[in-house]
Structure 1
Amino acid sequence: MKHIFTVLLLLAIPSIYAQNNLKGSVVDKNTTEPLIFANIYIPQLEKGATTDFDGNFTLSNIPNGTFPIVVSIMGYETFSQNITFPSTEQLHLTLIPSAIEMEEIIISTPFHKLQSENVMKVERETVANLKAKGAVTLADGITTIAGVESITTGVSIGKPVIRGLSSNRVLVYTQGVRLENQQFGDEHGLGLSDAGIESVEVIKGPASLLYGSDALGGVLYLNPERFAQANTDKADASYNYFSSTKGFNTDAGYKASGENFKFLFRGSLAEHADYNTADYRVTNSRFREQDFKTGLGYQKSGFKTELRYNINNSKLGIPGELGEQNTNKTPFLPFQEVTNHVLSSKSTVFLKNSSFDISLGLLYNDRKEFEDHHHDNDEGDMDDDHDHLEAALHMKLKTFNYDVKYNLPTLGRFETIVGVQGMTQSNNNYGEEQLIPDATTNDFGVLATSHIHFENSDIQIGARFDHRTIDVISGLNKDFSSFNGALGYKTKFFEKITSRINFASGYRAPNLAELTSDGTHEGTNRYEIGNENLKNEQNFQADLALEYKSEHIEVFANAFYNKVNNYIFISPNGEFIENTPVYNYLQADANLYGGEIGLHLHPHPLDWLHLESSFETVTGKQKNDSYLPLIPANSLTNTLRVEFDTKSVQKLYGFIRLNSYFKQSNVSGFETPTDGYNLLGAGFGGTVLLFKNNLNIRVSGSNLTDKTYINHLSRLKSDGIYNIGRNISIGLTYTL
């Protein structure tokens, strides 16, 4: 590996590469009128430009090679075309008017293509849209994406669930590196702020081919905000208020780019009191979060690199029994204090017709949990006392991961990538209690994948081998290995129907909690006993996606069947230790199946009117026909949305939404059924000029009828505590 990096470093001398320029124009296909402010972007280079008032653009410092050029603007179909450099031609591009939303490049898949060009179906949503829907946190916002739910502890803590799989079965990527933050715990959240995150991509299904162990259920890929375009700068600030929590979040950022160097930074603060329901406030559901992100980039023909850093500190109250009712924002016992540091580096070296991508990550997770008996006053504000408390549980997790991929020269119809990925990780305990032992984990994997292009269809195929070692300080040493593959096929029928079928296997090695637990897990009221004889979870999933898209109607249907061998689950054994029920980690084969269907109608000539409807379902069973725990209820979402521009308000929108959750009766042996319910939401917003700059205004309301309900995936369900009641949010973003 040392020799590989030495070679890459020698190759990364930018002066030896030619510099190319690309000039062109963008016009309306029907009227030939120039299109102003169209976006031209080369995703592999992360270079972009905007057309001027004559529809012209220029991109400079482009290395030799073949790169996709993406052109997009609201109200037109997104255009994509491969350009080979050096090239002397001037592009004259024509865009087709369309009411369909603009497509964006998908970053989480290996070849960085538009979704319409991808063999694998990936869901994508911008954080701006999540905020417009009234999301209180990032974990709350992702639940609006089809097939994605969240296991919650109040409002502050949420764990992503993709088609019924969660915890260590779902990987989270941020800043291009794998996030490691003790995610095995039921009450451990993402530890990330939505400030400085541009969009969210979700791979639903096995992604072990691309990401290794723990991507058995899927991947949540968070794209950081882009740097400013060359020779420009931008500043913005936002404020959001939430009525249910009497809380707010606010952030401000600045970014600037020259021809070669670029930088950005963003800071944010969020404070929330206990959330309100129609009957009461949920005691100690309050939380406080501070976040800072910064980035530095350098780009020259033949080489680009960026370094990003994120520190996030959260103090999270842990709700339990209902108690004192107030709107104070400082958590009292019990609470968590979690600090996440993420330092990432992403570089690309461009050769004549190929390139190397090198991503490195250094992560440090510092988790402290404070319990009731460590302070005499359970329900008082503790601003003066927090610094003097000793954590009952204190864990530090240090992770270094690397990802090196070589993009081979395109050979005819074949695009091919080969690579190595790995991780080394150490967990250490410093508190008086120990949830998992001190241990070291090492991963290593090799992969190869190809995208094969045909005239009306595409094939993607790949294979991967992984090896993981876990060394526990107490003397337990475990090795896990797995070989996985994937095969996908995409084709078009009658120009407007696209079908995708994917087969993939994935695996997950048991985590430390499952292997070594032996004690009371606070917050879950369980005495958990691990099982050092656990095997790999190994799954195979078939996924079928059909999509019909015309100028005024879109219909999609996704179906999946997921067979998981050696599925790990926890189950009570009927015994008690210290009046606490004992749970053992067991394994059994399991099957999950279901899918999503949806409709999007924007009728002619009312292109500003959008009718959207989607239904999602998942069922999970063990081999003995008993149901798996924490499977989300079936749900139906209906939305009426309007979008148009006026002389005084740009991008004016309004929506009304009804979320229907059906009764969940398919429960495991230690769960209870959950009643169905309906939640009504609505909102509006737009952008106005204030002092010659854009001010974005958004107002939204969720659970407008103040319905009392409990989501099946709420960890407060066993205490009979309701989810959040009516919440009105008001947001402002001012851009300079």
Structure 2
Amino acid sequence: MYKFITMLFACLMLSSYKSYSTETIAVGGKVIDETSKQPLSGATITIPDLRISVLTDQSGRFRLRNVPARGSFLIELRFVGYETLTRVMDLSKENDWQFELKPTLIETQEVVVTGTLSSGSNKRNSTTVNILNKDKLLLPSSNIIDAIAKSPGVSQVSTGPSISKPVIRGLSYNRVVTIDNGIKQEGQQWGDEHGIEIDQFKANRVEVLKGAASLIYGSDALGGVINLLEPIPVPEGEISGEFLTNYSTNNGLVGSSVMLTGNQNGFVWRGRGTYKNAYSFKTPVGYFPNSGFNETDFSGMLGLNKSWGYTHLNFSSFRNNIGFYEPAFDSEGNYVGEEGNRFFHDDFKSRTLQYPKQDIRHYKISLNNNLLIGTGNLKLNLGFQRNQRRELEDGPDPSLYFNLDTYTGDARYYIGQKNGWEPVFGFSTEIGHSENRGEEFLIPAYDTYGVGTFAYIKKNWENSTFNVGVRYDFRKNIGKPLEQDGESLFQRFSNQFSNVSGAIGFTHQFTERLNFKANAGSAFRAPNPAELGSNGEHEGTFRYEIGNPDLQPERSYQVDAELSYDGDFVNASATLYNNYIHDFIYAAHHGEFIDNLPVYQYGQVNANLYGAEASLILHPVHFIHFENTFGYTHAQNTSMNRPLPFIPAGVLRNELRYEPEIKHLQEPFLSVGMANYFAQNRVDEEFETPTAGYTLVNASVGATFFAGKQPIKFYVSANNLLNKRYYDALSRYKPGRLDQSDLNLGVYNPGRNITFGVYLPFVLKRSN
């Protein structure tokens, strides 16, 4: 920890030095309607790589102060009801710009993507990316992954409403990387019954990168990346914030969050607090005992935005308490507790969790920097995380207590654009140290070390781009031995892996509306310590797990291609992909039991996953919005010629949205939708059961009202409106095979849920 603080101090000193050595200027301009030439008041102008933004005034004018006197930067302009515009502007050549925005009925794909190596327009980025802005993240959800799992190609492994893990194109766990403020999230990715330890309300925008991304993020990014972005600092002189709260009827979930942020002469700050609480969730046939949870989160940022770039110190605290229940029944089929007593209505609606339960805590501090050096810039992200997992069986003292400390560093130097060329070089490192502090054990204490370096270059033409990159990674894992009651529970293991991966991509804009992108790449994933050395009962998963110290790294070879069309009344896209994975790792059950629990042992096979994603959005008139999306993944265990287990079912989503014009209301809407899930019969029949197809009906209504000049958004949303009984293919509560053990869950997914919500953005101070 001392070394980490020293590195933070050194970066702050470097930032202070740069602040006295960079010439600054002020630039500005005007934003108008392309057709009427009328000024647009309230349009947002953002320079993502400098983390600065400003709003246009009543005359459509804006001014950016204290920006570098030289250099080219990508600028994004956004305004509701208009196509997003992106431009690369040379600050040394122009200081009085005029931008013309084109009205549109459909959300455009011309938006900036920052989670790739080179920030740029989505149309000029060869990686397939789904982008969710604040309005979509506000839709009712129980956690951050639940909020994004409705995107094509994205789903979730769920353990009731409290726990969700992301799945991208059929891949999950350590094969999907989550990035929070530029830092790779390190916690319990390998565990079935653990979610992502991040406050769902703090993200202002989410980028879902689909496909192999080892070139950028090294090991683990076989399936894709979820890049969570907090708000860009507000304009100078402003203090603003937001308050939101919602209530859900199914499990009494109450979620509230308040945020305050400001900017005074480039000193930027932000703070947020969130609290969530829920009792047991209800299926169409009744409540499932002790499935409630509560969550308390705090996060903040302090930083400087200057002409030399920016430096931001971020910190967060996440704590989640979740109840668990191993089903037991009386003679009448009612759920009973460990003492054999039946659960009653008051028990289901109690917000006091019973034992067993788990207490998950995650603390994180990071320093994010972008320092302008000559015509280029250095992005440097340093992070420290402490993840603690406590499992409490019958009292406040944890029986299992797992502590993981992770140090990460990532440096990327961007040489700067010249004649359309954008070279980038980078280096990253990761050190992890874990301890077992309880009396029960699942995985050994371990140390892990990783280092990687890469080179990347992108070439831009008028209508096309080409990019290519190569990366080298080295990783080492050391598992520590442990004896218990005179028997060896864990044996020491030490292994190291290295890999060379690469990627190549191409985009072409046939017309202003028609766009094509393609990407090919290799990736790898080193086996994690749980896969290498686990030996014990995995609480909450109802199984006994045994690792394999001889596992080899997974290696992935993937191609994908996307064709998209952005019209005035039609927006459509289609994507095809194929991902071959050599030495795919998964835990399988082969009929063995320990203490009446099925034994799952880790092994390797070769696998092939391919599929398709598509979207079609229609706007026949300005107040009708008809959105349709489709996603399907076909996954085969090619070594044994049978399906891979736990692959999401294909899904077709349809939503009809009516947006009338009502006096004194802003953005009123009424929507009705259906989520059509196909049957999933492609399962590993040794230990997995198929699921039937089903259709869920959803609806929502909302609008923004005004109390004077203060906007207040109200909404009501209903999920599973018809209270449909169903099992999701990725639910860990779906029925197991009856011939495997006395434990057979068979718990339906949640039934009807109606959420009432309020969102209140506010401004306390704004500069003139």
What TM-score does the superposition give when structure 1 sets the normalisation length?
0.95
2:127–2:210 CA contact under 8 A, matched in 1: no
Deviation of 1:105 after TM superposition, in Å, equals 2.0
Deviation of 1:473 after TM superposition, in Å, equals 2.2
Aligned-partner SS, 1:129:
helix
2:680 counterpart letter in structure 1: Q
1:153–1:318 CA contact under 8 A, matched in 2: no
2: CA distance, partners of 1:394 / 1:4:
30
2: CA distance, partners of 1:66 / 1:483:
32
1:650–1:688 CA contact under 8 A, matched in 2: yes
Structure 2 match to 1:597:
614
Deviation of 1:682 after TM superposition, in Å, equals 0.6
2:443 counterpart letter in structure 1: I
Equivalent of 2:543, from 522, 526, 550?
A: 526
Aligned-partner SS, 1:460:
strand
1:609 correspondence with 2:624: yes
Structure 2 match to 1:490:
507
Equivalent of 1:418, from 422, 425, 446?
A: 425
Deviation of 1:127 after TM superposition, in Å, equals 4.2
Aligned-partner SS, 1:141:
helix
Structure 2 match to 1:449:
456
Structure 2 match to 1:566:
583
Deviation of 1:664 after TM superposition, in Å, equals 0.6
1:573 counterpart letter in structure 2: H
1:366 counterpart letter in structure 2: Q
Structure 1 match to 2:530:
513
1:108 counterpart letter in structure 2: G
1:654 counterpart letter in structure 2: L
2: CA distance, partners of 1:6 / 1:726:
54
Deviation of 1:515 after TM superposition, in Å, equals 0.6
2: CA distance, partners of 1:330 / 1:108:
40
1:335 correspondence with 2:361: no
Equivalent of 2:438, from 405, 412, 431?
A: 431
Equivalent of 1:622, from 630, 637, 645?
A: 637
Q: Deviations over 1:187-231 (max 9, x none)?
A: 111122212211211111111000010111111111112322211
Structure 2 match to 1:277:
283
Which runs of 5 or more residues in structure 2 are unaligned? 328-334, 337-342, 482-491, 736-744, 763-768
1:320–1:716 CA contact under 8 A, matched in 2: no
Structure 1 match to 2:330:
none
1:464–1:485 CA contact under 8 A, matched in 2: yes
1:124 correspondence with 2:141: no
Structure 1 match to 2:19:
14
Structure 1 match to 2:201:
195
1:420 counterpart letter in structure 2: F
1:571–1:583 CA contact under 8 A, matched in 2: yes
Distance 1:201 1:319, change over 3 A: farther
1:636 correspondence with 2:652: yes
Equivalent of 1:46, from 32, 51, 54?
A: 51
Equivalent of 1:28, from 26, 33, 56?
A: 33
Structure 2 match to 1:113:
120
1:729 counterpart letter in structure 2: T
2:673 counterpart letter in structure 1: R
1:726 counterpart letter in structure 2: R
Give % identity: 34
1: CA distance, partners of 2:289 / 2:692:
23
2:545–2:600 CA contact under 8 A, matched in 1: yes
Once superposed, which parts of structure 1, at least 4 consecutive aligned residues long, lie more than 6 Å away?
A: 1-8
2: CA distance, partners of 1:86 / 1:165:
46
1:233–1:256 CA contact under 8 A, matched in 2: yes
Structure 2 match to 1:219:
225
1: CA distance, partners of 2:442 / 2:508:
49
1: CA distance, partners of 2:282 / 2:135:
25
The 5 Å alignment of 1:83-122 reads: 83-101=89-107, 103-122=110-129
2: CA distance, partners of 1:571 / 1:328:
37
Equivalent of 1:552, from 546, 563, 569?
A: 569
Structure 1 match to 2:485:
none
Deviation of 1:3 after TM superposition, in Å, equals 11
Distance 1:5 1:232, change over 3 A: closer
Equivalent of 2:664, from 629, 634, 648?
A: 648
2:455–2:469 CA contact under 8 A, matched in 1: yes
2:466 counterpart letter in structure 1: I
Distance 1:732 1:4, change over 3 A: closer
1:60 counterpart letter in structure 2: R
Equivalent of 2:518, from 501, 512, 515?
A: 501
Distance 1:450 1:570, change over 3 A: same
Q: Deviations over 1:166-191 (max 9, x none)?
A: 11111111122011112111111112
2: CA distance, partners of 1:582 / 1:735:
51
1:335 counterpart letter in structure 2: K
1:724 correspondence with 2:746: no
The 5 Å alignment of 1:155-170 reads: 155-170=161-176
1:567 counterpart letter in structure 2: F
Structure 2 match to 1:385:
none
Equivalent of 2:382, from 360, 375, 379?
A: 360
Q: Deviations over 1:119-145 (max 9, x none)?
A: 21210112431333x222222112111
Structure 2 match to 1:477:
494
Q: Deviations over 1:691-720 (max 9, x none)?
A: 431111111100000111111111111311
2: CA distance, partners of 1:82 / 1:148:
31
1: CA distance, partners of 2:593 / 2:258:
51
The 5 Å alignment of 1:305-324 reads: 305-321=311-327, 322-323=335-336, 324=343
Distance 1:513 1:85, change over 3 A: same
Deviation of 1:690 after TM superposition, in Å, equals 1.4
Equivalent of 2:690, from 665, 670, 673?
A: 673
2:124–2:464 CA contact under 8 A, matched in 1: no
1: CA distance, partners of 2:19 / 2:660:
46
Equivalent of 1:539, from 552, 556, 560?
A: 556
The 5 Å alignment of 1:377-388 reads: none
1:127–1:194 CA contact under 8 A, matched in 2: no
1:182–1:397 CA contact under 8 A, matched in 2: no
2:758 counterpart letter in structure 1: L
Moved more, 470-479 or 699-708: 470-479
2: CA distance, partners of 1:627 / 1:696:
46
Moved more, 509-518 or 467-476: 467-476
Distance 1:3 1:160, change over 3 A: closer
Which runs of 5 or more residues in structure 1 are unaligned? 376-388
2: CA distance, partners of 1:7 / 1:730:
45
Q: Deviations over 1:316-352 (max 9, x none)?
A: 1124314424211122112110111111110111122
Deviation of 1:6 after TM superposition, in Å, equals 6.8
2:26–2:95 CA contact under 8 A, matched in 1: no
Structure 1 match to 2:594:
577
Moved more, 78-87 or 461-470: 78-87
The 5 Å alignment of 1:665-704 reads: 665-668=681-684, 669-704=686-721
Aligned length: 718
Deviation of 1:9 after TM superposition, in Å, equals 5.5
Aligned-partner SS, 2:49:
coil
Structure 2 match to 1:380:
none
1:310–1:342 CA contact under 8 A, matched in 2: yes
Q: Deviations over 1:576-629 (max 9, x none)?
A: 3333332221111100010111201112xx122111111110011111221111
Moved more, 609-618 or 2-11: 2-11
1: CA distance, partners of 2:730 / 2:20:
55
1:238 correspondence with 2:255: no
Moved more, 451-460 or 629-638: 451-460
1:154–1:319 CA contact under 8 A, matched in 2: no
2: CA distance, partners of 1:95 / 1:540:
40
Aligned-partner SS, 1:197:
coil
Q: Deviations over 1:357-407 (max 9, x none)?
A: 010111011110122xx35xxxxxxxxxxxxx2111100000010110000
